[in-house]
Amino acid sequence: MKNLKLTFLILALNLFFSCTHEQNQNDSQMIEGDFSTYPVYEGKDLEMTYTKEATTFRIWAPTAKAAVLRLYDEGIGGKPIAEHKMKKDKKGTWLLKLDGDLKGKFYTFQVEVGDRWMDQNPGVYAKAVGVNGLRACVVNLAETNPQGWEADKRPPLANFNDIILYELQVRDLTISPTSGAKNKGKFLGLAETGTTNSAGYATGIDHIAELGITHVHLLPVFDYLRVDETKLDTPQYNWGYDPLNYNALEGSFATDPYNPAVRIKEFKELVMAFHNKGIRVVMDVVYNHTSQSFKSYFNQLVPDYYYRHDAEGEFSNSSGCGNETASEREMMRRYMIESLIYYATEYHIDGFRFDLMGIHDIQTMNMIRAEMDKIDPTIFLYGEGWAAGACPLPDSLRALKANTMQLNGIAAFSDDIRDAIKGHWSDEKERGYVSGKPGLEESVKFGIIASTPHKDIRFSMVNYSDTAWAKEPSQTINYVSCHDNHTLWDKLSVTNPEDSEADRIKMHKLANAIVLTSQGVPFLHAGVEILRTKQGVHNSFESPDSINQINWDWKTKYIDVFNYYKALIALRKAHPAFRMTSTEMLNTHLHFSHDESAGIVAYSINGNANGDKWKDILVVFNANRTATHVTLPPESTWTIVLNGEKYLETGIETITNGNLMAAPLSATILVDTQSVK
């Protein structure tokens, strides 16, 4: 009997040492500086899993020696009501299960790495946070759904080429006293319908719907650092490109930043309001850097892992913001993918714009596309195909504009057409095509064919690109202005101060007439349709509301400009020839004229392109200050449907002599007369 007990004891000891050795062996596999050796956790339960009976907490912190969770009654201030040691678990994770209903309780994590206890933090996967994002909160997400949320559906979308993007900042749209909104500067303010300015013109969401927009692009609405949510009575402003909690929402846009459930519910109400108007919602996401470096929540859990470093071991900085994330590392890659899946499913988000997408690696971006396709292949993905500085990851591996052809169903912004139309973004006094700089016609043409391969383009004359970079037209975002740099109106005011307001308005209308009739996906900066100004401020990321707000009295003053933009959008939506779906289709149906005088860009779209009811279309842009003669194809009579003043589907004027005098600073679209009858 004693021998049998001894045998069992020996077996138990062997099993114990075997398990301990296996655990130690797993730990020792992590090699300092070689992040590829870190264990990868593939579970879907990181951070917090709530039920009424118990809540489970799990964090990934493979280099930690110990981990502690603290519970609080409030999201800020006060002492913890409980402290619990977490247990080391599989694949570098730490686990804790607490019985009972913890809904409404706040919590933080803290880990010991080496000989240092890192800072308390809410974890990196937190989906609900208290004021200023210092502590996470236990919530039941099902209880944050507004009435009717289960029936909320994405508005129909046949092709990415049908998209018309409208970039806005939540606060800007309603904060002005002229907005007519009750909840000014809030999610709920932007969701309000029936708002008008003093003259009775629609503002806010009704204005956007009236304009004909298909997708609103929201500047960051995730939780960011540089607005103090405890002092919202004090004027503060920030665009939000300083991420704090990626998976939680910004509290300053909520009516109560102290209650985590409020911001979640109110943002869902915003999304549903746009969907009810037939408008999809795009989120601006900023996974390329964090607002803090060493002190970031990522770094406080797993030091250095989530970031790239330079040769000296310092944080590399291709973001221009002090650090850059390492999307090629497995847990950062998984983090991005899981975060996007969360927003697409929990919030019904319809698209994502990637800030400084050129910092991310191509493989991660393509994996994101594949995951979005599983949810809904009409979710639109696009981003900036550049970085703000040198990057340690080779160019060949990054989602740069030049590598767009390696991206699957992901679009990039075209700086080629942007700077060709209005002038260089960083040289505020440099003019562009519409404002009087010669020699930019070929760059404008390159934008018109959405940066795709086309036999009529002389690539040696294009401003930034010596070859096509988009595989299909839907991979190009054409635009002339956005939140960055001057508004279009301010840019023209700087480059052309000697011109009359009337002539600058003509330039302004011509600029976006090019954008809205080009192939690819057009993008408008909110308020451009009413000549938005930021009073000449070049970079308004933290300027006051007086600079950033949209003054809705501009709509009254410039209603003719608004109606022109509205007409351009109606033209685009009514005629699929301006949104062809393939490069092959473009080469078959769209042909440029190379015989025109300086300042003229002219092309034809023939053969009922993309199923258009118009058989033959001529488009003429005249950037000259004088009327300019253009010879029309003699085999048809032509009817003008768009000029510098209006769009009329049934025709404005018919030309029978084959000669067009294109008005100065204008776009002219003509259709074979038989198609108009």
| Cα gap 484→491, rounded to integer Å | 12
Residues annotated as catalytic (active site), given as ranges: 355, 384
Beta carbons of 561 and 202 less than 8 angstroms apart: no
Q: What does the alpha-carbon distance between residue 625 and residue 87 come to, in Å, rounded to a whole number?
A: 74
Sorted by where each starts, the structural domains of the chain and their CATH numbers stand as 37-144 (2.60.40.10), 591-676 (2.60.40.1180)
Give the chain's end-to-end CA distance (angstroms, integer): 106
Q: Which two tokens stand for residue 126?
A: 């937190």
Taking a C-beta distance cutoff of 8 angstroms, is the pair 199, 179 a contact? no
Check residue 31 and give its pLDDT.
76
Distance CA 395, CA 406 (A): 13
DSSP states of 24-45:
HHHHHT-BTTBGGGS-----S-
How many angstroms separate the CA atoms of 296 and 498, rounded?
Answer: 49
pLDDT at 18: 41
Q: Where are the beta strands (DSSP E) in 536-614?
A: 590-592, 600-605
**pLDDT value of residue 21:** 38
Percent of the chain clearing pLDDT 90 (strictly above):
93
Work out whether strand 351-354 and strand 87-88 pair parallel, antiparallel, or are unpaired: unpaired
For residue 677, the model assigns a pLDDT of 83
C-alpha distance from residue 521 to each of 350, 430, 449, 483, 668 (Å): 15, 26, 11, 18, 21
Q: What is the pLDDT of residue 8?
A: 39
Residues of the chain whose pLDDT is less than 70? 1-28
Question: Residue 389 has what DSSP assignment?
Answer: S
SS3 203: coil
pLDDT tens for each residue of 525-554: 999 999 999 999 999 999 999 999 999 999
Task: For residue 329, give the amino acid letter.
Answer: R
Q: What pLDDT shows up at residue 3?
A: 46
Distance CA 413, CA 477 (A): 5
pTM (2 decimals)?
0.95
The crossing angle, in degrees rounded to 10, of helices 501-517 and 415-422 is: 160
Name which of 523, 521, 489 is nearest 506 in CA terms.
Answer: 489
